[in-house]
Structure 1
Amino acid sequence: MNVELARFNMIEQQIRPWDVHDPEVLQLLAVVRREDFVPAEHRQLAFVDTEVPLPNGQCMLQPKIEARLLAELQVQRHERVLEIGAGSGYMAALLAHRAQHVTTLEIDPQLAQLAADNLRRAGVKNVDVLNVDGAASVPVEGPFDVIVLSGSVAEVPSNLLAQLKVGGRLTAIVGQRPVMRSVLMTRDADGSFRTRVLFDTVAQRLRNFGEPSRFHF
């Protein structure tokens, strides 16, 4: 596989058509080596428009989704970021190149170690990978400028929204199969939240986040 040609085609054929035109984001995608965050047995899928399998039944989001979220969040160099669902560490690496610091939480110990190892090999030093359940509590003092849920939830938990600064942004994939929507939520000065729907998609559930009851009375 011609890696550089595959990377170029990913950016030009998958990511640009998804309304990602920020030159800094596109340059970042060219610099951060996605193939280094993909398990060796699935390296041929690194630049394909699909979810890449990870250990224990987990997966990486599609490249175009990661890129679109990064572009919509507009992370700044002075900002602190919280990610729920480290996976292989790739999204944390992208965020880290734009942020002051990233804390990424991963419930699966094997994935937490994988992410930490990948980030270390990539020379990314401003990310802390914590092996904790992000659905239970956030073991890091907030508030944060940006929160990223790298997976889907039935609804965004109020305890995570409470961790956002005024002007802070949270992105999540919300809903039930077959219809889910990626949303961007922004906290206003009065404590309310503005929600903008970005696109329709589907994604694997983040573990231990609540599901609505199937019973209605």
Structure 2
Amino acid sequence: MIGYLTRHPDKLIELTLEHLELSLISVAVAFVIAYGVAMLMYRFRFLSVPVNGLCNAIFAIPSLAMFAILIPITGLGEVTAIITLILYNQFILTKSISNAFLSIPASTVEAATGLGMSKRSIYWGVKVPMALPGIVSGLKMSIVSTITMATLAATVGAGGLGVLLFDGMTMKQWNQVLWGVLLSSVLALLASSLTHRLETFTLARSRGEGKRKSTI
């Protein structure tokens, strides 16, 4: 592995950056879509059943089969990989975001209304801070699973660390395969660690712990 690193450092860096870019774009777009859908589900509760059913159905489709469905429409490359990752992310994100808002106690909202707060103020000042830990928790799962699944993007010519895995297995270059496994694992662990810290911070803020400390 050390020998492969000294011979191909540029390739390892390039594929790692490609993998990271592919994952972050997919999660970012998926989050925007999922947030909008979750807000519709929160406002119109009857949408929960069909939306969750659709997300479950999409998630049940094997990733390679999803690639096969999209290739005739979007062709080979990053677009197909990103669309696939966005679709799979809806399963995690829409449920985590909608559940985070649904878990807010009605008494808290009623108390804020009684204090004369506007709907806009209640949303941004009460609902969003209380829902944020659940949202970040879902985002953590989404990022980690996307980094893992993005290795399959190499099968449609989208690059990333999957290139090391599939090319290595084809040519029986196991040091190359090990680098693909190692780098993708490191990215997933780093993402999990960072988002866990953010989750802990938002949970403390939602409980008012940070505010109490700042007044001491």
**TM-score between both structures, scaled by the size of structure 2:** 0.23
Which one has a larger percent strand, Structure 1 or Structure 2?
Answer: 1
Q: Which has the higher contact order (CA 8 A, sep 6+)?
A: 2
Which one has a larger percent helix, Structure 1 or Structure 2?
Answer: 2
> Which one has the largest radius of gyration?
2
